[in-house]
Chain A
């Protein structure tokens, strides 16, 4: 059973960089789409981006200029960096495994989520 766990600061100051790490256990990272998804308070899910095991990376166009996702297969971890944050980036951040299906991936395993608040 694959398990994912997010970690990182729960409070980030405006204009600074949000950094989160997702640790994967119970499975290999040598396949699949390793993804970050967020959910602002009271709102829906927003895909942030993914790192595909082949090396392909893709980001939500609305965040692309500020996002970096990287993989550390040796440590079974992948990370998220979001720069120049504002209050609008306050959200629950989830990491998830995207498993390839008939057309594109679906998210079959999720972390529990971590709350990140942007405030001075």
Chain B
């Protein structure tokens, strides 16, 4: 089955740029989606199809995907961005959905 790998944690100072990576074999051939989850809340979609943003999501959130790595970039990080972030893809060989293990973003 397809596996997505994320670092357990990323730390960044307010105002700086956070980059959260999601690794997978030839992930560049798939569409990657990203979710933000704050404690006690349901996940929220922040980027879909590699780099599109749902309405209401700030432009500070962006995504890219190439080769074996997809990246969620959060510019001008704010305290309110502190959360867990998950990547997700569709494994077309099995029609299964796969989540990465999640990355905890800490704003210092």
Q: Which chain A residues numbered 101 to 117 have a C-beta less than 8 Å away from chain B?
A: 101-108, 110-113
Contact A46 B99 (CB under 8 A): yes
Quote the shortest CB–CB distance from A76 to chain B (angstroms).
19
Q: How many residues of A contact B (CB 8 A)?
A: 25
Contact A101 B49 (CB under 8 A): yes
Contact flag A61-B43 (CB < 8 Å), given A101-B49, A106-B33, A107-B88: no
What is the chain B residue whose CB lies nearest that of A46?
B99
Docked Cα-Cα span, A37 to B42, in Å, equals 11
Docked Cα-Cα span, A108 to B15, in Å, equals 28
Which residues of B lie under 8 Å from residue A102 when comparing CB positions? 31, 49-50
Docked Cα-Cα span, A107 to B95, in Å, equals 15
B14 within 8 A of A: no
Contact B1 A105 (CB under 8 A): no
Contact A50 B97 (CB under 8 A): yes
Contact B99 A47 (CB under 8 A): yes
Quote the shortest CB–CB distance from B52 to chain A (angstroms).
8
Contact B96 A58 (CB under 8 A): yes
The digit string for B38-64, where 1 denotes a CB below 8 A from any CB of A, is: 000011110011100010000000000
Residues of A within 8 A of B (CB): 35, 37, 44-47, 50, 56, 58, 60-61, 94, 98, 101-108, 110-113
When A and B form their complex, which 5 residue pairs have the shortest distance between CB atoms, in order from nearest? A104-B90, A106-B33, A103-B31, A110-B42, A44-B102
Known contacts A102-B31, A104-B92; 20 additional CB pairs below 8 A are: A44-B101, A45-B43, A45-B88, A58-B94, A58-B95, A60-B96, A61-B94, A94-B42, A101-B31, A103-B30, A104-B97, A106-B31, A107-B35, A107-B45, A108-B45, A110-B42, A110-B44, A111-B42, A112-B42, A113-B42
20 contacts between A and B (CB under 8 A): A37-B99, A45-B99, A45-B102, A47-B96, A56-B95, A58-B95, A61-B94, A94-B42, A101-B31, A102-B49, A103-B31, A104-B30, A104-B89, A105-B90, A106-B33, A106-B88, A107-B33, A110-B42, A110-B44, A111-B42
